[in-house]
Amino acid sequence: MTVLFPQAEPVELTAEMLRVLSPSAEVQGHAPEQRVTVPGKRHVTISRIEPVGNYAVRIVFSDAHQSGIFTWAYLHELVAQKDAKWQGYLDELQEKGLSRDA
């Protein structure tokens, strides 16, 4: 998905990245220590994107995950910290012996 904010260059966020960093409680939990490292999503795709008011979008993924509401602020955070967040995810997978493949 390409994200474009005013006065900024377009940034590509992969479906995999959006899925594994979903803001949903299923992924993020209700506290930082409850956050889940989601493996096996290398081939996930975006099925559709639905507007949520004027402040967010709901992304529906090919694995049926659809509970994350991606606010513009959260998407901006993902764009601004794309490389660091992705590397953090890869590091977590390695530390936990998990894989991007199913």
CATH classification code of 2-93: 3.30.2020.30
pTM: 0.93
The pair of structure tokens assigned to 83 is 């490389």
Cβ within 8 Å of residue 51, ≥6 positions away: 57
Sheet holding 46-52, edge to edge: 46-52, 56-61, 69-71
pLDDT per position as a tens digit, 64-73: 999 999 999 9
pLDDT per position as a tens digit, 10-59: 999 999 999 999 999 999 988 888 999 999 999 999 999 999 999 999 99
